[in-house]
Amino acid sequence: MKTLTMMKPLLSKYLLALLALLTLSLSAWALSLQEAKALGLVGETPGGYLEAVSEASDEVAALVQQINDQRSAEYQRIAAKNKISVHDVEQLAGKKAIEKTAPGLYVKIGGRWQTK
């Protein structure tokens, strides 16, 4: 009995470490924007937003939504600051994003996906 009582704190520490490691591992499995682009899952559009290149998994759809929500908020901030339309900011951002897209990644031109 004495040995079991002495092992409880040690066992507890190992369980906490294992739980922390598992949590970090799960977050590392989350898909990043760069990974999604490199895998050909998402691409840039002339409207300044990301889109899934083909039917998206829940993870890809969530990533696209998260990034596009952040972009939309930033476009609105820029438009208000410069007293221009959000549409104009979106179009300029889309043009720049397509220009900056690395060769081999997807961009939407004329309504069709192509690799740059």
Over residues 11-64, the pLDDT tens digits come to: 444 434 434 444 333 344 579 999 999 999 999 999 999 999 999 999 999 999
User: Within this chain, do residues 46 and 68 fall inside the same structural domain, yes or no?
Assistant: yes
CA distance 75 to 90: 7
User: Within this chain, do residues 25 and 80 fall inside the same structural domain, yes or no?
Assistant: no
Q: Which domain holds residue 13?
A: 1-30
Token digits of residue 80: 């208000």
| β-strand pairing of 42-44 with 50-52 | antiparallel
* 113 CB-contact burial (10 Å; exposed 0-12 / middle 13-18 / buried 19+): middle
How many domains does the chain contain in total?
A: 2
Contact 97, 49 (CB under 8 A): no
pLDDT score of 20: 42
State the pTM of this model: 0.74
Token digits of residue 44: 């840039």
Give the sign of the dihedral formed by CA 69, CA 46, CA 36, CA 24: negative
User: Within this chain, do residues 1 and 12 fall inside the same structural domain, yes or no?
Assistant: yes
pLDDT confidence bin for 74, thresholds 50/70/90: very high
